[in-house]
């Protein structure tokens, strides 16, 4: 298997930390979720690197990468991914996004359609309103004052303590509980907590997700899309993936029956097999700005009429 290598790069005065594996084959970018890091892909990175050039960044404000400097929008995250690819000499890639990373991946395709060969969404955000109360509560006023209490000196290990708390609100023991505990344990610094709160409030309100890309899925008519979801996902319901599959003309839906919110962690070998088969069986998209314009003008009205109205709030 290809051994991952950790690297850093400075862009716009900010340090970007990323892992890479493999030197041949199509370029694949893996994007983690909110409060997560590139480490969430550890179980699949070596195997994917056997036949692909894999790039796994810590999104700005996460892990070892620098802070965003005030802009915590999906557009800012997507632009940072574009800049990283350009800096590394890559013009096109298959982009795989988990949770928040799925929203970033979709935004990347919307902003830079000529760079996206394929899109893979793993338990993705941005496809419906419903969301677990744990993340909705982070959007409440005062959440920024509560989080530091979890990290006070003298309290038990943060990861262990958080895992215990999370298990009481509907998460089963196993990969989901471990990954969520590890993600929230990464919020030990003030900067990390600020990134988390600002990102949450840009995408979520107390009622659920504010951003819904489902009405734009008709733009992916010529884009190969893989949708992977865990049947037992308690953070973002599997129904979001099923509805996205119905709306995306060329999508493939794979449900991991034994997994929750982290199917790539629960069943890494199967995840690699599904992703590699998807890449091998599909041709890279070729969507330039003019083709996107024609889709918007010629087909957008009909598609928008079929889409549900965006919910207020």
- Total residue length of the chain: 313
Instruction: Decide if 198 is catalytic.
Output: no
Taking CB atoms within 8 Å and a gap of at least 24, the contacts of 70-73 are 72/195, 72/198, 72/199, 72/202, 73/202
80 closest CA partner among 48, 114, 107, 41: 107
Tell me how far apart the alpha carbons of residues 156 and 300 are, in angstroms, rounded to a whole number: 54
* Cα–Cα dist 310/244, whole Å: 15
- Can you read off the two tokens belonging to residue 54? 């894999």
Choose, from 17, 65, 79, 99, the residue flagged as catalytic: 99
The token duo for 234 is 């308690």
Q: Which of 233, 245, 251, 264 is catalytic?
A: 233
DSSP-derived 3-state class of residue 10: strand
CB neighbours of residue 69 within 10 Å = 12
42 assigned to active site? no
Alpha carbon distance 49, 24 (integer Å): 8
Determine which one of 98, 245, 261, 264 is catalytic: 261
Is 261 among the residues known to form the active site? yes
Longest CA–CA span in the chain (Å) reads: 62
Q: Are 115 and 83 in contact (CB under 8 A)?
A: no
Catalytic residue annotation: 99, 233, 261
């Amino acid at each position: 298997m290809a051994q991952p290598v950790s690297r850093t790069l400075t862009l716009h005065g900010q340090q970007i930390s990323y892992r890479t594996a493999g030197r041949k084959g199509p370029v694949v970018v893996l994007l983690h979720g909110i409060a997560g890091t590139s480490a969430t892909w550890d179980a699949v990175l070596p195997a994917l690197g056997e036949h692909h050039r894999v790039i796994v960044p810590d999104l700005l404000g996460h892990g070892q990468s620098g802070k965003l400097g005030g802009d915590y929008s999906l557009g800012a995250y997507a632009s940072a991914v574009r800049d990283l690819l350009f800096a590394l000499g890559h013009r096109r890639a298959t982009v795989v996004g988990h949770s928040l990373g799925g929203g970033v991946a979709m935004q990347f395709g919307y902003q830079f359609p000529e760079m996206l060969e394929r899109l893979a969404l793993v338990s993705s955000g941005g496809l419906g309103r419903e969301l677990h109360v744990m993340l909705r509560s982070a959007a409440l006023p005062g959440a920024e004052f509560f989080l530091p209490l979890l990290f006070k000196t003298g309290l038990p290990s943060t990861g262990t303590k958080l895992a215990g708390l999370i298990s009481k609100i509907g998460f089963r023991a196993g990969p989901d509980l471990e990954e969520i505990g590890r993600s929230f344990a990464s919020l030990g610094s003030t900067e990390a907590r600020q990134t988390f709160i600002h990102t949450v409030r840009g995408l979520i309100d107390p009622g659920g997700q504010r951003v819904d890309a489902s009405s734009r899925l008709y733009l992916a008519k010529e884009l190969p899309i893989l949708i992977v979801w865990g049947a037992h996902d308690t953070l973002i319901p599997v129904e979001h993936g099923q509805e996205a599959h119905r709306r995306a003309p060329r999508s493939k839906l794979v449900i991991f029956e034994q997994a929750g919110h982290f199917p790539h962690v629960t069943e890494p070998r199967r995840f690699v097999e599904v992703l590699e088969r998807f890449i091998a069986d599909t041709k890279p998209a070729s969507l330039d700005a003019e083709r996107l314009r024609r889709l918007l003008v010629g087909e957008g009205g009909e598609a928008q009429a079929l889409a549900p109205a965006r919910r207020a709030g």
